Amino acid sequence: MDCPFCAIVAGDAPASVVHADDTAVAFLDIEPANPGHTLVVPRDHADGLGDLPAETGGHMFGVAQRVAAALRASVDADGIGLLLADGAAAGQEVFHVHLHVIPRHEGDGVVFRGNQTPADRDDLDELASRVRDHL
């Protein structure tokens, strides 16, 4: 397997690590949206969310919360954005699950919105029913 995040986790590739424990590693993104942009990855390889144990995902979110608090203090962030892209269509480029923790500043120009328009309530209710059927 040629996974850059597995190489970082193994210590075989350089990274600016901000947190490491038995389950997850957090390191600064090499192509940051803003200074302090951090990635939280599981130590065990998982291509996407469907491959990730729920306990590991919960742990990653807990790490992201701690990193977010540290980023607010260290880079004087006005806010924090969390982003996890699951699959190529969602923008995932490295197929090892990773949670972006992005410090935000008023007017920084970083945008995560598409062209949303208000949905019809009946359509939403029907879709919610289909989603519930798969839970």
Catalytic residue chosen out of the listed positions 19, 98, 100, 134: 98
Report how far residue 52's alpha carbon sits from residue 49's, in angstroms, rounded to the nearest whole number: 5
The continuous run of DSSP H or E covering 68 comes out as: helix 54-74
Q: What DSSP line would sit under 7-34, residue for residue?
A: HHHHTSS---EEEE-SSEEEEE-SS-SS
Report how far residue 101's alpha carbon sits from residue 113's, in angstroms, rounded to the nearest whole number: 16
How many CA atoms lie within 13 Å of 91's alpha carbon, on the beta-carbon side? 8
Tokens describing residue 133: 């059927």
DSSP at 44: S
Catalytic residue list contains 98: yes
Residues classed as catalytic: 98
